[in-house]
Structure 1
Amino acid sequence: MTDFPPLKNDLLLRAARGEKTERAPVWVMRQAGRYLPEFRKVREDHEFFEICRTPELAKEITLQPIRRYSGLLDGSIIFSDILVVPQAMGMEVLMNPGPHFPDPLNTPADIEKLSKTVDVNKELGYVFEAITVTRKALNGEVPLIGFSGAPWTLFAYMVEGGGTKTFQKSKSWLFKYPQESKDLLLRIADVCVEYLIGQVKAGAQLLQIFDSWAGELSPHHLEEFSLPSLQRISEGLRKSFASGEIPTVPLILFPKGANTSLATVASKAGYDVLGLDWCIDPAEARQIVGDKVALQGNMDPVMLYGGRDAIEKEVKRMSAAFRNGGPSKGWIANLGHGITPGVDPEDLRWFFKCVHKYSSADQS
């Protein structure tokens, strides 16, 4: 393990462990991204996956919001993409501007096109290097979050060949080829485990699993198809924690849209934190999951276009709902999905300031 500067702000880690905190820590998904002019400047000269594969560029992008919002952010997330895992498994992925797979998996026979084994150090070592240099450059200001896509979300991209509104191909796979689908989901999960272990070895201090398409599955099918692969990841990581192979870090799962499955996911998936989208009241979510997990979320990202008064009002309401009449405990403030490209960076700054103000433990 590399020696890193001591951490000066552990608020995010404490909240992720379910501890009472003096205020809610705050970060946002996609905080290093297109809404920042400094990001767009770098993108003028560099292709998207080129940035992901160039550790110094990934470090620079990751640090941009930390510099801009110094003292307001409590976490940093490494700049990368969930689709580096399908790439590591042998699939071509282009970004033009959204993700495109020129040769998707059309039938189970196409699984033969995937690499039989995946050497994550060889295929994804650039992510590990980016994490290490970024962790050093952060100089302990905030913790560094590593991440992966969830197997079902990655499966959907690999089968659909890109984004989709209907999920016709990927869900047809589940129903037509249930066993082959389950086998592939677990195969993806095993790659994710090795990838996430490598991220912790490289310096990641928390891990988030993005199941962006969880809400496309009925509760029954989520439990049948997605949940076992999510369990495979948490169990694989916890085995590595227990053996001392890697230090124990909190695990965050963001099952976007799966609000009718929160009880199942909280009790069975094996994660420390559940991320919420904006379509559930935080107090209701807490009632559903009990004290099993900490919570993260959940302001509607589009609220950031509503002006300062609307942002402040919403943060105040959200904070009261998460606090539910008591001190802030086990809550990480965030949006209910990633920040969108047209947001004014100064309105995001206001969001952070409002979280600092209204999530403090002395708020009634």
Structure 2
Amino acid sequence: MMTIFNDTILKAFRGEETDYTPVWYMRQAGRSQKEYRELKKKYSLFEITHQPELCAYVTRLPVEMYDVDAAILYKDIMSPLPAIGVDVDIKSGIGPVIDNPITSLKDVMKLGTIDPVSDVPYVLDTISLLTKEQLQVPLIGFSGAPFTLASYMIEGGPSKNYHKTKAFMYSEPKAWFALMDKLAEMTITYVKAQVEAGAQAIQIFDSWVGALNVTDYRTYIKPIMERIFRSLRENNVPLILFGVGASHLIKEWNDLPVDVIGLDWRLSIKEARALDVTKALQGNLDPAFLLSDWEIVEEKVKQIIDEGKQHPSHIFNLGHGVTPEINPERLKQLTTFIHEYSKR
């Protein structure tokens, strides 16, 4: 494997002191880059991810453009689902759409298992290309978490309230836990394959689990997440957990065997520490700030960095992903400022 010349972010993930605050951005690959938009005129997301050379290029592009301290593999949390029998399509302006939503235990039992080498070889080939030949920063692999994946599988696509998902969870507990088991096994197998191919850190996106209250999280989700992270710990790479609108679950997450908790903008780093959160923290600039004047951005970024430096482990990121409206030059400017300001 290629030597990583800049391992600053791995040190921060592990809770070690660093010379500056490292930074990467969720959805940094694509979205607002003109090079990516040109590619998207020719190829769909799934078509890009099925071509390792092209996918590696998209993954590498923001590292070269913005000078961030990590790459994150370009793919979608839906990428492993076709292997287990889920008919999913990413539709422009909508997101993932699933034609065969889960409605019963019978549907759950039809789901198969994933063999990454035969089912998603292009993902592993992309990782291998990047880590052996192309990157000089660590590569972050990722997967969706069971609740978030299940929400798409039950709702049939994106949802604002997750009513179908929660109703299924409450009224069909046997089917729910069977689904969680299947998705946990898929996640473990899929992530371990990414690490074995060369990924040096893993982020688990439980993007929509904030829809649950604390009691339901403890009952229906936390045991599954414990199982996933305990298994992934065996691979000895940093593990990050992130969700949107999940500030009320922060103490539950702090109990899990993860290294890093990603915060959205609803809970500050200072507030998280006041709740006795001991993990390394990642975040948490609201992406909307990047559409403001630079002076406004700078003031907020200073506040986040200053709060982060009160504890040895902070990784700068956005509170959610890069949006299409954000100017790539602003991301480059932001990265430079984070590096320079945090060195003081």
* 1:88 and 2:83 aligned: yes
Residue number in structure 2 paired with 1:305:
291
Unpaired segments ≥5 residues, structure 2? none
TM superposition score normalised by structure 2: 0.96
The residue type equivalent to 1:190 in the other structure is E
**CA-to-aligned-CA distance 1:139-159 (integer Å, 9 cap, x gap):** 4x2100000001110010111
CA distance in 1, matches of 2:172, 2:69: 43
Secondary structure at the residue paired with 1:84? coil
Residue number in structure 2 paired with 1:249:
237
Q: Aligned to 2:187, which of 182, 186, 192?
A: 192
1:251-330 map, 5 Å: 251-267=239-255, 269-291=256-278, 293-324=279-310, 329-330=312-313
CA distance in 1, matches of 2:339, 2:115: 43
**CA-to-aligned-CA distance 1:248-294 (integer Å, 9 cap, x gap):** 21011113222112112111x21000000000111111222443x11
The residue type equivalent to 1:253 in the other structure is L
Residue number in structure 1 paired with 2:47:
50
- The answer as to whether partners of 1:262 and 1:289 remain within 8 angstroms in 2 is no
The residue type equivalent to 2:321 in the other structure is G
- The answer as to whether partners of 2:80 and 2:114 remain within 8 angstroms in 1 is no
CA distance in 1, matches of 2:61, 2:19: 26
* 1:24 and 2:21 aligned: yes
CA distance in 1, matches of 2:326, 2:284: 17
CA distance in 1, matches of 2:198, 2:292: 37
TM superposition score normalised by structure 1: 0.91
CA distance in 2, matches of 1:31, 1:127: 18
**CA-to-aligned-CA distance 1:1-41 (integer Å, 9 cap, x gap):** xxx22110011000000011111100000000121001011
* 1:170 and 2:158 aligned: no
Q: Aligned to 1:65, which of 55, 62, 66?
A: 62
- The answer as to whether partners of 2:13 and 2:260 remain within 8 angstroms in 1 is yes
CA distance in 2, matches of 1:341, 1:290: 32
**When the two structures are aligned, how many residues end up with a matched partner?**
342
Secondary structure at the residue paired with 1:109? helix
Q: Aligned to 1:33, which of 30, 45, 62?
A: 30
- The answer as to whether partners of 2:188 and 2:228 remain within 8 angstroms in 1 is yes
The residue type equivalent to 1:302 in the other structure is A
Secondary structure at the residue paired with 2:316? strand
CA distance in 1, matches of 2:218, 2:265: 22
The residue type equivalent to 2:142 in the other structure is F
Secondary structure at the residue paired with 2:283? strand
Q: Aligned to 2:124, which of 128, 131, 151?
A: 128
Shift of 1:179: 2.5
CA distance in 2, matches of 1:58, 1:228: 34
The residue type equivalent to 1:281 in the other structure is S
The residue type equivalent to 1:54 in the other structure is Q
- The answer as to whether partners of 1:307 and 1:347 remain within 8 angstroms in 2 is no
% identity of equivalent residues: 39
Secondary structure at the residue paired with 1:148? strand
Larger mean Cα displacement after TM superposition, 189-198 or 229-238: 229-238
CA distance in 2, matches of 1:137, 1:61: 15
